[in-house]
Chain A
Amino acid sequence: MEPQTPTPPADPDALPPIAQVERKAIALLVLITALVLGFLLYVMVARGVFESTQQLVLVSDDSEGVIVGMDLTFSGFPIGRVRRIELAADGKARIVIDVPRKDARWLKTSSIFTMERGMVGETRLRAFSGILTDPPLPENAERGLLRGDTGAEIPRIVASARAVLENLDNMTRSDSSINTSLTHLQTVTGRLSGPYGVLTGVLGSEDSAKKIIATLDNTNALLRKADQRIFGAKGIMDSTQATVDGSQAAVAQLTQLLTEVRASLQKVDAVLVEAQAVGANARVASADLGALRAEVEMSLRKVSQLVEEVNRKWPFARDTEIKLP
Chain B
Amino acid sequence: MPPTSFLHLDTGAWGRSILRVATSWWFMVHFGAVVLVMALSPSTYNKAHRATTAQYIYTSTWQVLPWFTAMAALLSLVLIRVVVVTALSYGLSQYALQMVVRVLVLELIPLSAAMFVALRAGLAFNAGATDLAPPAGTAPAPLSLKRLRRELVPRVLASAFAVLALAMISSMIALVLVYLTVYGLSPWGLPGYTRTVGQVFDLAVTLGFILKTVFFSLAVAVVPMAASLETPRQPVNLDTVQPGAVRLFLVLLLIEAASLAIKYI
- Residues of A in contact (CB 8 Å), total 38
State which of B55, B64, B198 has its C-beta within 8 Å of the C-beta of A8: B55
For the complex, give the distance between the alpha carbons of A22 and B57 in Å: 9
Are B59 and A24 in contact, with the CB atoms below 8 A?
Answer: no
Q: Which of A1-22 contact B (CB under 8 A)?
A: 1, 3-10, 12-13, 15, 18, 21-22
Tell me how far the C-beta of A56 lies from the nearest C-beta in chain B, rounded to whole angstroms: 18
Q: In the complex, which residues 48-87 of chain A have their Cβ closer than 8 Å to any Cβ of chain B?
A: 48, 68-71, 78
CB < 8 Å: which of B59, B198, B202 contacts A4? Answer: B59
Q: How many residues of B contact A (CB 8 A)?
A: 49
B123–A3 CB distance below 8 A: yes
Beyond A12-B49, A29-B161, 9 additional pairs, beta carbon < 8 A: A3-B120, A4-B64, A6-B59, A8-B56, A12-B55, A21-B51, A21-B54, A31-B165, A43-B206
| Complex contacts, A15 vs chain B, CB 8 Å | 52, 55
User: Considering residues A26, A28, A31, which has the most beta carbons from chain B within 10 angstroms of its beta carbon?
Assistant: A28
B127 interface contact, C-beta 8 A? yes
* Nearest 7 A/B pairs, CB to CB: A46-B198, A6-B59, A25-B54, A12-B52, A7-B128, A22-B54, A25-B57
Note all chain A residues with C-beta closer than 8 A to B86: none
Residues of B56-81 at the interface with A, using a CB-CB cut-off of 8 Å, are 56-65, 67, 71
Q: Does B197 contact A (CB under 8 A)?
A: yes
Asked whether B16 is an interface residue with its Cβ less than 8 Å from the other chain, the reply is no
Q: How far is the CB of B122 from chain A (nearest CB, A)?
A: 10
**One of A32-40, A138-146, A170-178, A270-278 contacting the partner:** A32-40
Whether, in the assembled complex, B195 has its beta carbon less than 8 Å from a beta carbon of chain A, the answer is: yes
Q: B198 and A18: CB pair below 8 A?
A: no
Q: Contact at B202–A69, with CB atoms within 8 Å? A: yes
Q: Are B199's CB and A69's CB within 8 A?
A: yes
Closest to A10 in B: B151
Q: Which residues of A contact B48 (CB under 8 A)?
A: 12-13
Please, which residue of chain B has its CB at the minimum distance from the CB of A15? B55
Q: Check A6/B67 contact, CB under 8 A, given A12-B150, A43-B201.
A: no
